[in-house]
């Protein structure tokens, strides 16, 4: 077995089956990157002190969007955009509502903690089974996503005393949605040979480390990150 390319023997990136699954997973990624761009611009409006930094994060998301668009073009796949919009509807709705209320904590938890950790987990699991072109693109992107997670982590840590309860509320409201989102595309991630358990594990590690650094106890971290996992 070739360990650097574990799936090249069994994955046919050009097959109809692969490209059909890719039309949904790639569309989800594109919609995620598009929303991430908009979400960081919204946060820049809410946090004038950090506007410069947040606009830079937004610009990075825009580059990710273009990179993943080229991955679809490379495989001659047409992303299923309506599917992706419906996929993100609930999570995006919660972000929009929080933004309208000026609830910075919830916005930060949804975008910079939850969505970034979801991206980090999915991209890390995708890299070893991606086609050579997409692998290169995704390796560059995932480094940026750690920067984004770090930004949110740092801000929440600095304001921990006042945002602690808000984080817990936003976690309880939104983490179950993400676990349902992951379950909803299980058949497609399987076609891409992205192991679902590995995604869950990677998410737990990134999210748990972030919550711990922000100021939650080990016990709280365990409770919070498993929220809605079994449903």
**Which residues bind to ligand Y39, rule: CB under 6 A?**
25, 28-29, 32-33, 36, 61, 64, 115-116, 118-119, 122, 145, 148, 182, 185, 189, 199
Query: For tokens 């668009």, what's the residue?
Result: 69
Nearer to ligand Y39, 35 or 103 (CB): 35
Question: Of residues 50-69, which lie at the interface with Fe ion (CB under 5 A)?
Answer: 61, 64
Nearer to ligand Y39, 47 or 220 (CB): 47
24 binds, among Fe ion, ligand Y39, none (CB under 5 to 8 A by kind): none
Give the shortest CB-132-to-ligand Y39 separation in angstroms: 20
C-alpha–C-alpha distance, residues 87 and 89, integer Å? 6
Nearer to ligand Y39, 190 or 217 (CB): 190
Give the shortest CB-116-to-Fe ion separation in angstroms: 5
Nearer to ligand Y39, 29 or 129 (CB): 29
The verdict on 145 binding Fe ion (CB under 5 A) reads yes
Give the shortest CB-64-to-ligand Y39 separation in angstroms: 5
Contact 28, 87 (CB under 8 A): yes
C-alpha–C-alpha distance, residues 164 and 39, integer Å? 21
The verdict on 80 binding Fe ion (CB under 5 A) reads no
CB neighbours of residue 17 within 10 Å:
9
Q: Give backbone dihedrals phi and psi of 216, rounded to 5 degrees, phi first.
A: -80, 150
Question: Is the Cα torsion angle 121, 122, 123, 127 positive or negative in sign?
Answer: positive
Which string of x and - marks every residue 201-230 that binds Fe ion (by CB under 5 A)?
------------------------------
The full DSSP string for 167-230 is HHHHHHHHHHHHHHHHHHTHHHHHHTT--HHHHHHHHHHHHHHHHHHHT--HHHHHHHHTTTS-
């Amino acid at each position: 077995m070739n360990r650097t390319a574990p799936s090249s023997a069994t994955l046919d990136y050009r097959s109809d089956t692969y490209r059909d699954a890719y039309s949904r997973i790639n569309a989800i990624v594109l919609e995620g990157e598009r929303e991430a761009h908009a979400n960081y611009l919204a946060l820049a409006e809410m946090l004038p002190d950090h506007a410069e930094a947040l606009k830079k994060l937004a610009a990075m998301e825009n580059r990710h969007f273009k990179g993943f668009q080229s991955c679809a073009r490379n495989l001659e796949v047409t992303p299923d955009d309506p599917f992706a919009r419906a996929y993100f509807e609930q999570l995006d709705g919660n972000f929009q509502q929080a933004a309208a209320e000026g609830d910075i904590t919830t916005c930060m938890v949804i975008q910079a903690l939850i969505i970034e950790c979801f991206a980090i987990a999915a991209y890390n699991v995708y890299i070893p089974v991606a086609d050579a072109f997409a692998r290169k693109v995704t390796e560059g992107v995932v480094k940026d996503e750690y920067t984004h997670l770090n930004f949110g982590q740092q801000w929440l840590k600095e304001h921990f005393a006042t945002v602690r309860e808000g984080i817990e509320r936003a976690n309880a409201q939104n983490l179950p949605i993400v676990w349902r989102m992951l379950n909803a595309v299980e058949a497609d991630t399987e076609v891409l040979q992205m192991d679902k358990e590995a995604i869950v594990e990677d998410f737990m590690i990134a999210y748990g480390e972030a919550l711990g650094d922000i100021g939650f106890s080990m016990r709280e971290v365990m409770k919070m990150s498993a929220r809605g996992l079994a449903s």
